[in-house]
Chains A and B, each alone.
Chain A
Amino acid sequence: MSNSGLQPTIDLEVYRYRPEQQAEPTYDTFTVPLRDEWVILDALNYIKDELDGSLSYRWSCRMGVCGSCGMMANGEPVLTCAAFLKSYAPGSIRVEPLANFPVARDLIISMDDFMEKMNRIQPWIITDEEKPLEEGEYLQTPDQVDEYKQFSMCINCLLCYSACPIYGMEPSFIGPAAIALAQRYNLDSRDHGQETRMDILSTDDGIWQCTFVGECSEVCPENVDPAGAIQRYKVTSTNDWWKSKLLPWTSKQ
């Protein structure tokens, strides 16, 4: 923190990468006003409006709902719309794109890998047979809703993938959010897709890569607890494995 005039300021070291101009990323340092109510995203908007209009980054809601503003702040994955500047002062803030993902430009990562994985686990309600409309809704008790509610809070911000050391080493790992999302549907009383999803989740690239480091649940802004989802699914998958070996005739495959 330095004082230029009356207004205190803070420095942001911002990761820059413009593929058409530079082969290697660089860092630009910007000095921005340090206001009590400002979050890192406000500082980035200030830079874009006042200092360097070419800075690229994603954001939308500014209130922790859309999940698009995730970045690394001093090496920690955070939602920049929820990370107050003052909690980093005094000292500067190094702002980088989310770790473990290819960078498209400046602070923007490419999400292709996650989109493919999310699709792979079939995150929708799979039913054997659609009920005719006249039979009415698929009713659920509050207890049945509670079963999966926590896992439905995910905003796809990808902080968990950035925090996960396993994903960093093994990009084929299907990853925390995708598994939590699979559990969101697996645990839904209206869903019958468990068997289909097990073929994707119970593989070496599925839950079995996870060694329960737990960083994903630490950084999750929505308390989804992906580590808990994975751990819980390991039990399901293990039961299923023993059943298929010891009682092969009960297994559907």
Chain B
Amino acid sequence: MVKRSNEPFWWALFGAGGVVAALCLPALLFMTGVAFPLEWLAAPDYESLYGLFENPLVRLAILAIVSLSAFHWAHRFRFTLYDGLHIKHLNAPVALFCYGSAIAFTGFAALSLYTF
């Protein structure tokens, strides 16, 4: 029997990252880039944001958003390098670098949010 690929694991993270980024980024851009400066909406102050972050569920959600976005980047960047530069022979180090960066970034984000 042929070996099935483990690509679905990375692809699922890639897909999930694409979805959360596509949902959150426009909203974030709209609020911080348009709505707050033009005072359509009142910008939250530091204390209320801080208070929001006290809630572990909020931190978990933030972690999911940034980590999945990082995996989205990793997968896309891997194939950009792989197909764009025709460096098939470097497949393993490229994958290690891309997904490794996303894993390291997730660890860093988790630590920051934990010790926050």
Contact = CB atoms under 8 A, between A and B. Distances in A.
A211 B7 CA distance: 12
Nearest to B79: A211
B11 A238 contact: yes
A204 interface: yes
A200 B9 CA distance: 18
Interface in B1-32: 1-9, 11-12, 15
Interface string A223-238: 0000000000010011
A234 B2 CA distance: 17
Given A200-B2, A202-B4, A208-B5, A169 B88 contact: yes
A242 interface: yes
A241 B88 contact: no
A68 B69 CA distance: 45
Given A234-B11, A242-B12, A202 B5 contact: yes
B39 interface: no
Contact of B4 (A166, A199, A211): A199
A204 B7 contact: yes
A224 B93 CA distance: 37
Question: Which residue among B2, B5, B11, B83 has the maximum number of chain A CB atoms within 10 Å of its CB?
Answer: B5
A67 interface: no
Given A166-B83, A169-B88, A211-B79, A203 B5 contact: yes
A208 B7 contact: yes
Contacts of A237: 8
Nearest to A235: B15
A198 B8 CA distance: 13
Contacts of A240: 8
Given A169-B83, A169-B88, A211-B79, A241 B9 contact: yes
Nearest to B3: A203
Interface residues of A, number: 20
A203 B2 CA distance: 7
Contacts of B1: 199, 253
A241 B3 CA distance: 12
Given A169-B88, A199-B2, A203-B2, A241 B83 contact: no
Given A234-B11, A241-B8, A165 B83 contact: yes
A77 interface: no
A206 interface: yes
A211 B84 CA distance: 11
A234 B13 CA distance: 13
Given A234-B11, A238-B8, A241-B8, A169 B86 contact: yes
Interface in A193-232: 198-200, 202-204, 206, 208, 211
A204 B5 contact: yes
B8 A206 contact: no
A166 B88 CA distance: 12
A241 B79 contact: no
Given A170-B88, A203-B4, A241-B4, 15 more contacts: A199-B1, A199-B2, A199-B4, A202-B5, A203-B5, A208-B7, A208-B11, A211-B79, A211-B83, A234-B11, A238-B11, A238-B15, A241-B9, A241-B12, A253-B1
